[in-house]
Amino acid sequence: DTAVSQTPKYLVTQMGNDKSIKCEQNLGHDTMYWYKQDSKKFLKIMFSYNNKELIINETVPNRFSPKSPDKAHLNLHINSLELGDSAVYFCASSYRQGQETQYFGPGTRLLVL
Amino acid sequence: DQQVKQNSPSLSVQEGRISILNCDYTNSMFDYFLWYKKYPAEGPTFLISISSIKDKNEDGRFTVFLNKSAKHLSLHIVPSQPGDSAVYFCAADAGGTSYGKLTFGQGTILTVHP
């Protein structure tokens, strides 16, 4: 029983396309996050949602739009994909926001050609 | 502006010996710290955390030490095992209005040789 799952695991697409990555957690957590791991291996937060409400929105291009249909799901939609969007995207969740252990999904490896 | 730094990209240790992974931070607002382990093609897995009101936290073979005046923390693994070979990330949380935003270091690759 995977606690935090992401689909797809791999995504190869052309520049200019629109794609979505889905994330689901079955831990009953209130807070979910999206992180990006770039080519230099830094993990950087992009967004967080608490009970379907957007809490953190780092300086991310507005081509990236998170959507939380319920507190167990946080999806990431990316419009007009660019080469620089190639990265590994990790979803995470925590019991609540603030100073809580975050549990990560397996990652989605996005390659934009 | 790298607020959390892991200055050793890699560390190699013999099985049974101690592994010491280091992490430095610059933001004095950080008051909660975590260590994550990551295997290739998997997500980071939580290992151990420490609040700034403590200077040490132990969990089995893993101990984290926090030196607030030096803005430095370290993870000790004793004894090291080959299965500990992974990338280790240090992360920090500023609490308050950070709303759970974790700032990560760039990771240290630990290799434990049998």
Burial class (CB in 10 A: 0-12, 13-18, 19+), A19: middle
Measured between CA atoms, the residue of chain B closest to residue A93 is: B100
* Predicted pLDDT of residue A96: 84
B26 Cα to chain A: minimum distance (Å): 17
Higher pLDDT, B72 or A50: B72
For A82, phi then psi, to 5°, come to -120, 160
In one letter, which amino acid is B71? Answer: K
Tracing tokens 């291009």 back to the chain, one arrives at A61
Pick left, alpha or beta for residue B71 (phi over 0 → left; psi -120 to 50 → alpha; otherwise beta): left
Six-digit token pair at B107? 């990771």
Q: Is the pLDDT of residue A14 over 70?
A: yes
Looking at residues A35-42, what average pLDDT do you find? 88
B31 in helix, strand or coil? coil
Tracing tokens 């049998």 back to the chain, one arrives at B114
Picking from A37, A49, A56, A99 by the largest number of B CB atoms within 10 A of its own CB, the best residue to mutate is A99
Average pLDDT value over all residues in chain B: 94
Cβ pair B42:A107 closer than 8 A: yes
Rounded distance between C-alpha atoms, residue A88 and residue A108, angstroms: 5
* Predicted pLDDT of residue B19: 98
Higher pLDDT, B15 or A57: B15
Pick left, alpha or beta for residue B107 (phi over 0 → left; psi -120 to 50 → alpha; otherwise beta): left
For B83, phi then psi, to 5°, come to -70, -10
Q: How confident is the model at residue A60 (pLDDT cuts 50, 70, 90)?
A: confident
Identify which of B17, B24, B3, B1 has the alpha carbon closest to the alpha carbon of residue B108.
Answer: B24
Looking at residues B63-83, what average pLDDT do you find? 97
* Predicted pLDDT of residue A1: 62
Q: How confident is the model at residue B27 (pLDDT cuts 50, 70, 90)?
A: very high
B98 Cα to chain A: minimum distance (Å): 7
pLDDT digits (tens, 9 = 90+) for B94-109: 877 777 889 999 999 9
Residues of chain B with Cβ-Cβ distance to A48 below 8 Å are 99-101
* Predicted pLDDT of residue A57: 84
Report the relative pairing of strands B62-67 and B56-59 from DSSP bridges: antiparallel
Average pLDDT value over all residues in chain A: 92
Higher pLDDT, B95 or B38: B38
